[in-house]
Amino acid sequence: MRLKNVVFILILMMLFGSACSGDTPDTAEPDAAAPTVETVETDPTSAVAPTPEPTETAVTIPAATLPTAEAPTGTVLELAGSDMLLAHPDFSWLVTLPADWIITYDSGFQLEANSPDQAVFTRIQAQRWETAEKQQPNARAYVDHWKNFTYGDVFPLYADGEQLAEIEVAPDKFGGPYLQYEFLDSVDGLHYFQIYASAGGPGSAMLSVWTAEDDYAAFQALMEAILPSFELVESGE
């Protein structure tokens, strides 16, 4: 190889080596005219909108439009002048309420209603016993059933407070006499009447009527008019 070529190759190698081992070029400064972006740290939880808590919406069912085929409950309703006659053949109960009352819940074995001004309320709680051995022979046995319930004493059912009275009523009705109670719940400010009924058959039921203690004097007559309309009926079983 000619000396000139060798020298040329050596020079190229030297230049290549200096290029590889040389200092890294300075990073170009940003253009002063270019806009800058400020980074703001945020709480990651604040970027997600909180999920609202579910709320219950009260649904009132006008008396004339009780659930039918879409949500069958078996409750039978009949308007008779100023009265609304309610009955359930499967759960063996019937009661009469004012025709302008609003039914707010109906599952057949439980029905709730109230006056249009939401001053007086009523609830019917009924059940069918799974076996003949569990059937309650009379009202007293039915009350004792709730006093000795599996999960403890739950008498008075769906109520609370001081018992003011206990009397036997409706001796001539099916399964009578029934037991009628009066309670004053001073903690919640409520005044209750309750009737417990059982006839030894497949069904037993309880009626509860209540209002605010401050309104009791004004609605006592209405409440006491509803009570005697409640009764059990023979189911044919």
> Is domain 63-232 given the CATH code 3.40.50.1220 in the classification?
no
Looking at residue 140, its pLDDT comes to 98
The domain locations on the chain are 63-232
Question: Are 218 and 156 in contact, with CB atoms under 8 Å apart?
Answer: no
Written as six digits, the tokens of 154 are 């739950």
Q: Which of 187, 198, 196, 191 is nearest to 223 (CA)?
A: 191
pLDDT at 101 (0 to 100): 96
Q: Enter the pTM of the model.
A: 0.70
Which pLDDT value is given to residue 218?
Answer: 98
pLDDT digits (tens, 9 = 90+) for 22-63: 444 343 333 434 333 333 333 333 333 344 443 333 333 343
pLDDT digit string, tens, across residues 133-154: 999 999 999 999 999 998 899 9
Q: Are 124 and 93 in contact (CB under 8 A)?
A: yes
> Which pLDDT score, from 0 to 100, does residue 172 have?
96
Q: What is the pLDDT of residue 236?
A: 55
Question: Look-up: residue for tokens 């009265």?
Answer: 83
Q: Which stretches of the chain score pLDDT less than 70?
A: 1-72, 236-237
DSSP for residue 135: -
